[in-house]
Amino acid sequence: METRKASSVRLEHLTKMFGAITAVSDVSFEIPAGALVCLVGPSGCGKTTTLRMIGGFEEPTAGHIYIGNQCVDAQPPYDRPTAMVFQSYALFPHMTVYENVSYGLRVRHKPTREIEECVHSALALLELQGLESKSPRQLSGGQQQRVALARALVTEPEVLLLDEPLSNLDAQLRVRVRGEIRALQRQLGITAIYVTHDQEEAFSLSDFTAIMQAGKLIQVGKPMDIYRRPTNTFVAHFVGLSNIVHVEALEVRAQDATVRALDHVIHVAVPPPSRDGKFAVVLRPEMMHLCPADRDGIAARVKTATFLGPLIRYVVVTGAGLELTVDVTNPTAEQLFSEGTAVAVHLPDQVPGLLAV
């Protein structure tokens, strides 16, 4: 299958109410053509509802959806240039693989010859040749998942919508299939919106990650930017372990700032998010070091030490009672601390950003 036509997707003030419940609240953003965007957030935050509105399976209470330059508000799912892969695969159990994959073309009354060609090439793309006459029951989870993808791709959508497509697979297979989905999306050049509640999956797959909480879109950005500069404490905690340490602003300049955290002076690469108010730095566990107590650093005591294979995760408590999580990778002999040991915590001299708290 050759490169497809890709379209941008624009959501304008999209809102969905279910009775008194606001499932999606005033969500606006634009996905560039050919990009893969992950929609991520805790259970119930409105990810599936957002995706279903884009696919036409749910009618927005307010707002508009554009695919390319076209407003698709009034179009039913089968008229939209979208295809959706549902969380539970949703293969038709009484149909063979061939019948499942050809379904979208048959309901569109395509000629038999064209159906055969398209199904053949979709099955080849997903390496499912030879399984045409099997029923879904006879397939492994990974194969069923690929059939679900073939069924979505066979209609040549401009936008592929995926709702937690890997949740039924075990951890190893999940990592492999997500790599396959990414490669396929790049190969076809189509736009994709991928819902997951797994931030690692989102970061590893996406060009842009969009974080939702309680129906609202909280932050959209490149994965590394979101990790380095979360806009609030929810995002900071959602995308990895964070130590959030309140700071005192020493100097605020147009381009950057100097702050003090735990008696340590830190340079911030960008100015604070606002002129007034309170700020904090996000100190990721890998941004700090632990040394024996006689070295320079913040005096603390080891509360717990957990061996995690590639690293040791220490929770230490400072003299002021603040708990910090510090990861030590590849520890030297003098960085092996037992619980109760006095240590010195070395903070970074610079951080990428500040949080308003």
- Per CB under 5 A, residues contacting Mg ion are 48
Contact status: 48 vs ligand ATP (CB under 6 A): yes
197 binds, among ligand ATP, Mg ion, none (CB under 5 to 8 A by kind): ligand ATP
Q: How many CB atoms lie within 10 A of CB 187?
A: 13
Per DSSP, 287 falls in state: G
Q: How many CB atoms lie within 10 A of CB 324?
A: 21
Contact status: 206 vs ligand ATP (CB under 6 A): no
What character string, x for contact with ligand ATP (CB under 6 A) and - otherwise, covers 169-198? ----------------------------x-
Contact status: 45 vs ligand ATP (CB under 6 A): yes
Count of residues in contact with ligand ATP, rule CB under 6 A: 12
Q: Residue 235 CB, nearest distance to ligand ATP (Å)?
A: 16
What character string, x for contact with ligand ATP (CB under 6 A) and - otherwise, covers 11-30? -------x--x-x-------
Binding range to ligand ATP, per CB under 6 A, among 42-50, 78-86, 239-247, 314-322: 42-50
Q: What is the 3-state secondary structure (H, E, C) of 13-62?
A: EEEEEECCEEEEEEEEEEECCCCEEEEECCCCCCHHHHHHHHHCCCCCCE
For Mg ion, the closer CB: 11 or 312: 11
* 230 close to 222: Cβ distance less than 8 angstroms: no
Q: Residue 89 CB, nearest distance to ligand ATP (Å)?
A: 15
Look at strands 208-213 and 216-221 and give their pairing: antiparallel
Among 44, 141, 221, 331, binds ligand ATP (CB under 6 A): 44
Q: Minimal CA–CA distance to 151: which of 119, 195, 116, 112?
A: 119
Q: Residue 43 CB, nearest distance to Mg ion (Å)?
A: 7
Q: Residue 53 CB, nearest distance to ligand ATP (Å)?
A: 10
Cα dist from 203 to 194, 199, 308, whole Å: 11, 6, 21
Contact status: 228 vs ligand ATP (CB under 6 A): no
Q: Residue 98 CB, nearest distance to ligand ATP (Å)?
A: 31
Look at strands 82-85 and 208-213 and give their pairing: unpaired
For ligand ATP, the closer CB: 51 or 298: 51
Tell the burial category of 321 from Cβ atoms under 10 Å away from its Cβ (0-12, 13-18, 19+).
exposed
Question: What is the full DSSP assignment across 131-163?
Answer: -TT--GGGS-HHHHHHHHHHHHHTT--SEEEEE
Residues that bind ligand ATP (CB under 6 A): 18, 21, 23, 41, 43-49, 197
